[in-house]
Chain A
Amino acid sequence: MAIEVRIPTILRSYTGGAKAVDATGATLADLIGDLEARHPGLRERLVDDAGLRRFVNVYLNDEDVRFLGGLGTPVADGDTVTVLPAVAGGAR
């Protein structure tokens, strides 16, 4: 078994158009490392030096990982990780 990662439209150019891909890892950081090995370029769209990019939301099952342990959040086979672009903006 693996962890299913659901990919938003904007990042599907990295996954050959796939809406969901499999990856493995013990933590979210590991998982993103594995994703990068399988789909080069993806990592940079998800994280920067400070951690998760503010332009993306990453969920472990139903929970935003910012409310869990961020990149250190443990993940396990059978989990689903969902990536969504954050929707935000403003007058300035």
Chain B
Amino acid sequence: MLTISRELVDAIVAHAREDHPDEACGVVAGPEGSDRPERFIRMENAERSPTFYRFDSHEQFRVWRDMDDRDEVPVVIYHSHTATEAYPSRTDVSYASEPDAHYVLVSTASEEPQFRSYRILDGVVTEEDVKIVEAYG
């Protein structure tokens, strides 16, 4: 299960809406071992595409090094689908390579955005519940 604050969900959805019809992407970092998303980092979609996203490799290097310095990990890796449902595509699965991350997908295809979360491990997709909290206890 992904437990995430309302504020972060709103920030992710706002980013997805802002970049629509292109795919938006980013990370929420959290302390290593905590499984708690805390620090919102919107990333550039280097592809600027409605059907594909890729983190810019230089930006990713800086962000990952920064996380490393702070003893953080990418707790959530999110991106949006702008014309299809919030379910991982074959491309998403083939690239998924953070075994501990929650892969969040937001769909901006309809008026009411979908917000769903998955674990993707060795090519196997497992949807998980999302618990939205006002604050972390």
- 8 Å CB contact of B95 from A62, A86, A91, A92: A86
For A64, list chain B residues within 8 Å (CB): 57-58, 61
Binding site for A on B (CB under 8 A): 23, 25, 43, 47, 49-55, 57-58, 60-61, 64-65, 73, 77, 79, 81-84, 88-92, 94-100
Does A70 sit within 8 A of B, measured CB to CB? no
Binding site for B on A (CB under 8 A): 8-10, 55, 57, 59, 62, 64, 66, 82, 84-92
Q: B136 to chain A: closest CB distance in Å?
A: 23
Structural contact, B88 and A89, CB atoms closer than 8 A: yes
Q: B104 to chain A: closest CB distance in Å?
A: 12
- 8 Å CB contact of A57 from B61, B91, B99: B61
Q: B123 to chain A: closest CB distance in Å?
A: 12
- 8 Å CB contact of B100 from A9, A84, A89: A9
